[in-house]
Chain A
Amino acid sequence: MSDRVRLGVFGVSLAGLLGLVMWAFVGLPDFGDYRGPYGDILNRVAVPERSTTDVVTAVNFDYRGFDTLGEEFILFTAVIGVASILRTLRGERTRPPDDDAAGRDVPETSLPIRVTGLGLVAPTVLIGIYIVAHGHQTPGGGFQGGVILATALLLTYLSADYMTLRAVGPNWLIELAEGLGAAGFALIGVAGLVFGSAFFENVLGKGTPGELPSAGLIPLSNAAVGLAVTGGFIFMLSEFLEQALTRRRDRRRGRGARRSA
Chain B
Amino acid sequence: MVLARDPLRQAMVASIYGLLLGILFFLFQAPDVALSQTVVGAVALPMMILLALAKVRGGEE
Contacts and interface: CB of A to CB of B under 8 A. Distances in A.
B55 to A, nearest CB: 4
A148 interface: yes
Contact of B51 (A131, A139, A144, A244): A244
Interface string B20-60: 00000000100110111001100110011001101100110
A58 to B, nearest CB: 11
A106 to B, nearest CB: 11
B58 A244 contact: yes
Given A243-B55, A244-B55, A144 B43 contact: no
A103 B32 contact: no
A147 B40 contact: yes
Given A240-B52, A244-B51, A244-B54, A233 B44 contact: yes
A236 B54 contact: no
A163 interface: no
Contacts of A62: none
Interface residues of B, number: 19
B44 A144 contact: no
Contacts of A181: none
Interface residues of A, number: 26
At the interface, is chain A mostly helix, strand, loop or mixed?
A: helix
Given A151-B44, A154-B47, A237-B47, A143 B36 contact: yes
A139 B39 contact: no
Interface of A: 31, 54, 56-57, 102-104, 131, 139-141, 143-144, 147-148, 150-151, 154, 233, 236-237, 240-241, 243-244, 247
Given A102-B55, A139-B34, A240-B47, 19 more contacts: A102-B59, A103-B58, A104-B58, A140-B31, A144-B32, A147-B36, A147-B44, A150-B44, A154-B47, A233-B44, A237-B44, A237-B51, A240-B48, A240-B51, A241-B51, A243-B51, A244-B52, A244-B55, A247-B58
